[in-house]
Amino acid sequence: MMFCFLFLLSFPILTSANDGGPFDYLMFTTIYPTAVCRADDDSVPDSCEIPKGTPQWTIHGLWPNYENGSYPQFCPGTPSRFDENLIKPIEPKLLAVWPNLFPHKSIQSFWKHEYEKHGTCAQSDERYKNELLYFSNSIKAYETFNIASALSSIGPSDKLITKEQLHNALLEVTNGKSYQIHCLRDKKTKQYLLGDIRLCLNKDLTIRDCPDDRNSNRVHTRFPRRASNGGGLPTYQECPHSFVYISAETSYTPRGLFAPLWDKIFG
């Protein structure tokens, strides 16, 4: 009886935010795969792998958000389940700029997760009303805001950079608007690595400020956030004042032939 009562009580609360109604803006998140795989737990072999030819920065997702800091998820969509056939025309492009870095999961699993959790909640707007439009607009955002190019003046390198240096380099894409960044912790070196950059976009994909965290009743649903859904994966966290935009060549452990031995001794 009590269970029934609680169930009835909670149902309208859950559905009111996830009915696919209007959202306020989009958060466009790009990740830095080099950092994701560096922060990944090396005790699990081949758990993180950057596909050959992957650009420096790749897509994590395009997320409908509310001004109050919360966001709708798993909305009723058309289709409500990811259908690979619908994105066939742009699949080669998606493979390049939106790769899955975790080989134990299927290539499409990342897209499936992002579409079902976030894409289904963007359909109230004509421009995102179906799966193909959601993914093509994500690619459009990626092509509009070239993070790798903006950051080329400060890295990647093995040196520490400050939030100010990052801010100045990013001006090229942010145009002075506020944004968010997150870091990943390298378990071995304890270094904070720049892991993702989140831009806030209007529905027409022009840049806008992210809502000010301090002045909103922000519900901390976004963060900390795992690199992907699953266990044992790196967690995105707040960046300290300085951190490393790590280069793919920066290496502190011998890779290849000696890696298993090295891990045995120092792992």
Ligand X SMILES: *[C@@H]1O[C@H](CO)[C@@H](O)[C@H](O)[C@H]1NC(C)=O
Question: Smallest distance from the beta carbon of 9 to ligand X, in angstroms?
Answer: 15
**219 sits near ligand X (criterion: CB under 6 A):** yes
CB of 44 or CB of 219, closer to ligand X: 219
Question: Smallest distance from the beta carbon of 25 to ligand X, in angstroms?
Answer: 12
CB of 68 or CB of 175, closer to ligand X: 68
Rounded to 5°, angle at Cα 175 from 169 and 180:
70
Going by C-alpha positions, the residue among 38, 40, 24, 3 that lies closest to residue 72 is: 24
Site for ligand X in 70-99 (CB under 6 A): 70
**68 sits near ligand X (criterion: CB under 6 A):** yes
Q: Are 80 and 123 in contact (CB under 8 A)?
A: no
Span of 28-36, 38-46, 66-74, 174-182 interacting with ligand X by CB under 6 A: 66-74
Span of 45-53, 63-71, 89-97, 239-247 interacting with ligand X by CB under 6 A: 63-71
Where do the DSSP E strands lie in 188-265? 192-201, 207-208, 225-226, 235-236, 242-244
Q: Are 165 and 154 in contact (CB under 8 A)?
A: yes
**44 sits near ligand X (criterion: CB under 6 A):** no
Where do the DSSP E strands lie in 112-241? 160-162, 179-185, 192-201, 207-208, 225-226, 235-236
Measured torsion, CA atoms of residues 177, 180, 186, 191, in degrees rounded to the nearest 10: 50
Q: Are 154 and 211 in contact (CB under 8 A)?
A: no
**Residue 33 CB neighbour total at 10 angstroms:** 21
Question: Smallest distance from the beta carbon of 127 to ligand X, in angstroms?
Answer: 19
**Residue 249 CB neighbour total at 10 angstroms:** 9
Question: Smallest distance from the beta carbon of 65 to ligand X, in angstroms?
Answer: 9
Which of 49, 51, 66, 247 is close enough to bind ligand X by CB under 6 A? 66
Catalytic residue positions, numbered: 60, 114, 118
**Amino acid residing at 90:** I
CB of 68 or CB of 202, closer to ligand X: 68
Going by C-alpha positions, the residue among 176, 182, 177 that lies closest to residue 195 is: 182
Question: Smallest distance from the beta carbon of 220 to ligand X, in angstroms?
Answer: 11
Span of 64-72, 103-111, 123-131, 154-162 interacting with ligand X by CB under 6 A: 64-72
**125 sits near ligand X (criterion: CB under 6 A):** no
**17 sits near ligand X (criterion: CB under 6 A):** yes
Site for ligand X in 151-210 (CB under 6 A): none
Q: Kindly list the residues in this chain that would bind ligand X in the complex (CB under 6 A).
A: 16-17, 66, 68, 70, 219
